[in-house]
A and B are shown apart, each in its own frame.
Chain A
């Protein structure tokens, strides 16, 4: 199984149609990856599917960078 970052990266690249090289742990969804708030909501939903987990609204609101998402998923799994 690919590591969490690689899997998250794949979801982001597919969903936001951005260059792979832009997807770093530090990248902010809104500032660096040109996602709007709804894109972020949708991304979170896709991550839930990919990792077969539920991310609460409270947790989802704290996710603003790629690293936030990866760390959250790692902390649960």
Chain B
């Protein structure tokens, strides 16, 4: 499905990004596995891809650093010779009630979750415009659509990502670079493992499909958006949340 394509997945050492990297590779794409600090975890993802006959390498970069991002994108293009798919997945949470939220908590989340998407998108644009083809898939969040108490920073960043997705889609449409977002609901990863049990219970009661999602539920939708099956879609945000927000 993605044979001959090359992909960069940010934050692919763990959780959803890891599942996306594995899914794209399983479908034939060469994958650059980005991470911030978890070198070993990233190497494990690369090993798993290679074990299954795929091509991949791990690359460290902090997505909120312009210099890091530029180096990373250059290295991916030098290694693979092209860059067809970018998945902006890296993200963090620093939850707190608005009243208690510190300026640093707000800034940190915006830097990684929103500015990181801007920097990485900007860095790949030149290559994709040259190729006259490309796919950018941004991992937003359903709370970027609905709002969520305790996550003012995160929600602002994710709503920002949805807006950025639409604008990038409009700017790059004539160059056949398609830009879409996926808004996951409640997915079991390290990010959500740290939530208290009551919070998980109350989340579950809001999910019509009555189960938490797993990273593969998101990865398969990303694979669809990266494929030729999604040729006529751009600027959209797909809710993959078990029906939480309709």
Task: Tally B residues with Cβ within 8 Å of A.
Answer: 6
CB of B175 within 8 A of chain A? yes
Closest to B125 in A: A41
Cβ of A17 to closest chain B Cβ, rounded Å: 14
Q: Which residues of A contact B174 (CB under 8 A)?
A: 38
A residues 18-77 in Cβ contact with B at 8 Å: 38, 41-42, 45
Cβ of A65 to closest chain B Cβ, rounded Å: 22
- The reply to whether B175 and A45 form a contact with Cβ atoms under 8 Å apart is no
User: Bound complex: CA of A72 vs CA of B121, how far in Å?
Assistant: 28
Q: Which residues of B contact A42 (CB under 8 A)?
A: 129, 175
Q: Which residues of A contact B129 (CB under 8 A)?
A: 38, 41-42, 45
Closest to B127 in A: A45
CB of B130 within 8 A of chain A? yes
User: Bound complex: CA of A45 vs CA of B127, how far in Å?
Assistant: 10
User: Bound complex: CA of A72 vs CA of B126, how far in Å?
Assistant: 21
Q: Which residues of B contact A38 (CB under 8 A)?
A: 129, 171, 174-175
B residues 20-66 in Cβ contact with A at 8 Å: none
User: Bound complex: CA of A41 vs CA of B174, how far in Å?
Assistant: 13
Cβ of B134 to closest chain A Cβ, rounded Å: 14
Cβ of B228 to closest chain A Cβ, rounded Å: 24
Cβ of A36 to closest chain B Cβ, rounded Å: 8
User: Bound complex: CA of A38 vs CA of B129, how far in Å?
Assistant: 9
- The reply to whether B126 and A45 form a contact with Cβ atoms under 8 Å apart is yes
Cβ of A67 to closest chain B Cβ, rounded Å: 25
User: Bound complex: CA of A38 vs CA of B126, how far in Å?
Assistant: 11
Question: What 0/1 pattern do residues 166 to 178 of B give for CB contact below 8 A with A?
Answer: 0000010011000
Closest to A41 in B: B129
- The reply to whether B130 and A45 form a contact with Cβ atoms under 8 Å apart is yes
User: Bound complex: CA of A42 vs CA of B126, how far in Å?
Assistant: 8
Cβ of B167 to closest chain A Cβ, rounded Å: 13
Q: Which residues of B contact A45 (CB under 8 A)?
A: 126, 129-130
Cβ of B161 to closest chain A Cβ, rounded Å: 22
Q: Which residues of A contact B175 (CB under 8 A)?
A: 38, 42
Interface residues of A (CB under 8 A from B): 38, 41-42, 45
Which 7 residue pairs across A and B have the least CB separation, nearest first?
A42-B129, A45-B130, A45-B126, A38-B174, A38-B171, A38-B175, A45-B129
Subset of 10 A-B contacts with CB under 8 Å:
A38-B129, A38-B171, A38-B174, A38-B175, A41-B129, A42-B129, A42-B175, A45-B126, A45-B129, A45-B130
